[in-house]
Amino acid sequence: MSESSSSNNNINNNNTTTLSNQLDNYVLIDVGANLTNRKFSRDLESVVQRAKDAGVQKIIAIGSSLKSSKEALRLARIYPGMVYSTAGIHPHEAKSWDEDYMDQLRDLASNSECVAIGECGLDYSRDFSSPVTQDMVFEKQLELACEVKKPVMIHEKAAHEQVVDLLTRYKQQLPATILHSFVGNSQQVKTYLQLGSYIAINGYLCKDSSEEGLQAMLESGELPMDRILVESDAPFLYPNARASKLPLHVRDAITTKAQTFLQRYCTFQRNEPCSIPVLIEIIAAFLKKSPEEIALATSFTALKLFGLSS
């Protein structure tokens, strides 16, 4: 390495350390990142380090197929205490279900690093797997969650009534349920809250400005702080802090220190967990709370639901 390259690396490291010190008052947990995605295959260690520098103390790596669930568990063992995993079959992958999948998911879920079942659920908006197959695979994973007593990360699109029906059927036995990457309306969120579910918010918030969307729910208080979790859904759903659909008072509330991580390391093509501080500040502006309060509340909820070590 040349002397100039070494100097530049030192400058970048010093800048990151300075930013990290500025964000020390945020306690952050990313409850949903797709760390097994191939977009992270070359520099995952740097991605995890940047998350730490941004104040993200724990990341839950989502499993959405048998292969990615195994890989998520492997990552949890590489980064103990920082990364945790889930084990599940996404509704798009339901068609791949085989007889031995239940046993394999059970084996994965039996590990302490695996803190939830999922991402599972129903998605009738696309036909990657038939509704009948999706229903069967989702119900089997709800049964597994009841058996191993671990929370369920739920993906739901265009299948609200069917998901509610299944959750109602298993309500007495189910541990906590979390709506991952929620894209529903206010009436739907009320139903999920009545069932005891939690709502995971990501960068979709920046564009969901409809009358019954997430922004409206936060401002009206329909989405209470103690039911909110935050997730990057990296590498997807970049939280666009400059989005025109964000009210001006929200955009103005986002600090330079939080935006620096977002602007330096994240793009629309590849979001990272280090974007979580911006998401926290956006939620805080809608709720008219301090970012520190939102960070602490969402992290406390995550620690409690997933049984993460503090």
The answer to the question of residue 6 being in a domain is no
The answer to the question of residue 34 being in a domain is yes
pLDDT of residue 17 exceeding 70, the answer is no
Mean pLDDT to the nearest integer, 277-306: 96
pLDDT of residue 284 exceeding 90, the answer is yes
Summarize pLDDT for 96-139 with one digit per residue, the tens.
Answer: 999 899 999 999 999 999 999 999 999 999 889 999 999 999 99
The answer to the question of residue 151 being in a domain is yes
Summarize pLDDT for 215-264 with one digit per residue, the tens.
Answer: 999 999 999 999 999 999 999 999 999 999 999 999 999 999 899 999 99
Amino acid 24: pLDDT: 58
Amino acid 8: pLDDT: 40
The answer to the question of residue 17 being in a domain is no
In 3D space, the residue among 89, 24, 41 whose CA is nearest the CA of residue 62 turns out to be 89
User: Are 153 and 120 a contacting pair, CB within 8 Å?
Assistant: yes
pLDDT of residue 15 exceeding 60, the answer is no
The answer to the question of residue 13 being in a domain is no
The answer to the question of residue 2 being in a domain is no
pLDDT of residue 195 exceeding 80, the answer is yes
Binned at pLDDT 50, 70 and 90, residue 143 comes out as very high
The answer to the question of residue 310 being in a domain is no
- Cα–Cα distance between 161 and 116 in angstroms, integer? 23
The answer to the question of residue 182 being in a domain is yes
State the total domains in the chain: 1
Angle between the 44-53 and 3-22 helix axes, to the nearest 10 degrees? 40
Summarize pLDDT for 31-44 with one digit per residue, the tens.
Answer: 999 999 999 999 99
CATH of the domain at 123: 3.20.20.140
Question: Could you tell me where the DSSP H helices lie in the chain?
Answer: 3-22, 44-53, 66-78, 101-109, 131-148, 160-169, 186-194, 214-220, 248-253, 256-265, 276-287, 291-306
pLDDT of residue 269 exceeding 90, the answer is yes
Give the 3-state secondary structure of residue 118: strand
198-201/177-179 β-pairing: parallel
